[in-house]
Amino acid sequence: MSLTIYSTLSGKKEVFEPREPGKIGLYVCGITVYDYCHIGHARVLVAFDVMSRFLRSQQWNVNYVRNITDIDDKIIDRAADNGERYTDLTSRYIEFMHEDERALGILPPDTEPRATAHIDDIIAMIETLIEKGYAYSASNGDVYYRVSRFADYGKLTNKDPEQLLAGARVEVDSAKEDPRDFALWKFAAEADVGWISPFGRGRPGWHIECSAMSKACLGAHFDIHGGGPDLPFPHHENEIAQSEAANGCQYANYWMHAGAVRLDGEKMSKSLGNFFTIRDVLKQYHAEVVRYLLISSHYRSPINYSEENLVEAKAGLDRLYNALRGYESVAATSLEELAGNEFYKKFVAAMNDDFNTRVALAVMFDLVRALNSAKGKQEAEPLVAELKAMGQLLGLFGSAPDDFLQSAGESDLAAETVEALIAERAQAKRDKNFARADEVRDQLLAAGILLEDSAEGTKWRRDA
């Protein structure tokens, strides 16, 4: 089955056609590093992590580039508020970002360019835009992009420039030729953060950074550009205008945007002050539960962040892990061996259909039902191996089943306490003190501990 992708540019699903056979150049707008990453960031990071994992499993040669914005007004302002150098601030939050990514099982991109390492590329692109008449130096020392010069401005969001102006949050600035024009280079005094350029001392605007970094890493024209739900306008419209004007060719063939994370129906964002950082959430929930929540919906669909949905995600992941219990020694089937398997073919079909993880997970639950009906280990083990292989493509099953099912939150009974109570219950049963055995079971149940007795002994897990 061919890979189909929904492109924001066309507003429909398209059969993916690579620029080079078997190869995919993927650029994703990354984090502006001045604070901890929140769950909205995690949505984007996990979505494109799943995509790159799957594409590679299907023998695509993926060059995944995800940038870091390490120079920006917010960064400079936060560093000034803290009384520290901006480089110290960004270094600290880059490490925090990497810690969060590792916790969520997000693999690093192939290349992670930083804006400050590409100042020469940024200056060169601005020079080209000035030479071609698409940019101009203003009286205030800034350099602006001349929006009226680019005939296709607004094609990504399918609105004309006049409509886009209403949502642009354009500041009144008499130095601009047109209120819609945006900064490519911002003047910086000697005491401020800045670099020397042919158009004066300053620093780059946000939009030009990605145009320069993507070109440096993937070339002027590449396959897929991705990002979060808040980026189509103005950031990605401006990237297109800059890049296509400077380079004289199409910028990216496909544009992909992850859906928003909402809290009580409102978009979650730092500007609204209603966001949860990844590390705060991970204090209460296992990282795989958070990852599962983020892939349980299609990547383009909005997700409502709530305790109820996290509990539901925990329950779903419990079912998958519970099916693997007792099969810890069974290895995941190699993808070559899976090629003809019916469950795997359905899984691949779902993922080839614009990375539909919701349907892919449904296939995995169909497989669990078949596994639960299997007669004996000989019939069950191939199904377990297939389930593990699918889970790994989604970045799941990073823990042993018991480790996951028995993992504790801050307020839960410690595993050692649970084990001691189970041992006490077993001794009470041997002593025929069934009243005490029942008391212990009820005590554990009240603490959210479910017991499963069998001939091999008692297994336990925490209730979702």
Torsion sign (Cα): 436, 439, 444, 449? positive
CA distance 43 to 38: 9
> Reading across the β-sheet that carries 252-257, which strands appear in turn?
61-66, 23-28, 222-227, 252-257
Q: CA angle at residue 112 from 110 to 114, to 5 degrees? A: 160
Q: Is 188 left (phi over 0), alpha (psi -120 to 50) or beta?
A: beta
CA distance 193 to 168: 26
CA distance 163 to 19: 33
pLDDT tens column, 433-448: 888 878 888 888 888 8
CA distance 195 to 90: 18
Structure confidence at residue 454 (pLDDT): 78
37 is in an annotated binding site: no
- Among the listed residues 5, 57, 60, the one whose alpha carbon sits nearest the alpha carbon of residue 252: 5
210 is in an annotated binding site: yes
Provide CB contacts within 8 A for 401, sequence distance 6+.
321, 322, 324, 325, 328
**What DSSP element (H or E) covers 226?**
strand 222-227
298 is in an annotated binding site: no
Structure confidence at residue 142 (pLDDT): 97
Q: Which CATH class is domain 16-258?
A: alpha beta
User: What ranges do the domains of the chain cover?
Assistant: 16-258, 263-405, 415-462
Write down the architecture of domain 263-405 according to CATH: Up-down Bundle (1.20)
CA distance 31 to 33: 6
CA distance 73 to 34: 10
Structure confidence at residue 411 (pLDDT): 61
**Residue 353, strand partner residues:** 4
Q: CA angle at residue 373 from 368 to 378, to 5 degrees? A: 95
| β-strands 202-204, 182-187 pairing | antiparallel
270 is in an annotated binding site: yes
Residue 267 burial (C-beta neighbours within 10 Å; 0-12, 13-18, 19+)? middle
Structure confidence at residue 422 (pLDDT): 83
Structure confidence at residue 335 (pLDDT): 86
Structure confidence at residue 169 (pLDDT): 47
Angle between helices 39-57 and 377-393 (to 10 degrees): 120
| β-strands 303-304, 261-263 pairing | parallel
CA distance 103 to 97: 10
Is the CB of residue 126 less than 8 Å from the CB of residue 184? yes
Structure confidence at residue 410 (pLDDT): 61
Please identify every stretch of the chain with a pLDDT value under 50, giving residue numbers as ranges. Answer: 167-170
Residue 446 burial (C-beta neighbours within 10 Å; 0-12, 13-18, 19+)? exposed
Structure confidence at residue 247 (pLDDT): 98
pLDDT tens column, 79-121: 999 999 999 999 999 999 999 999 999 999 999 999 999 999 9
Q: pTM value? A: 0.91
CA distance 192 to 385: 58
First to last CA, the chain: 37
SS3 label, residue 27: strand
Helix boundaries (H) for 167-247: 206-218, 237-247
Provide CB contacts within 8 A for 310, sequence distance 6+.
285, 289, 290, 293
Which whole-number Å values give the CA distances from 31 to 148, 227, 281, in the listed order? 30, 10, 19
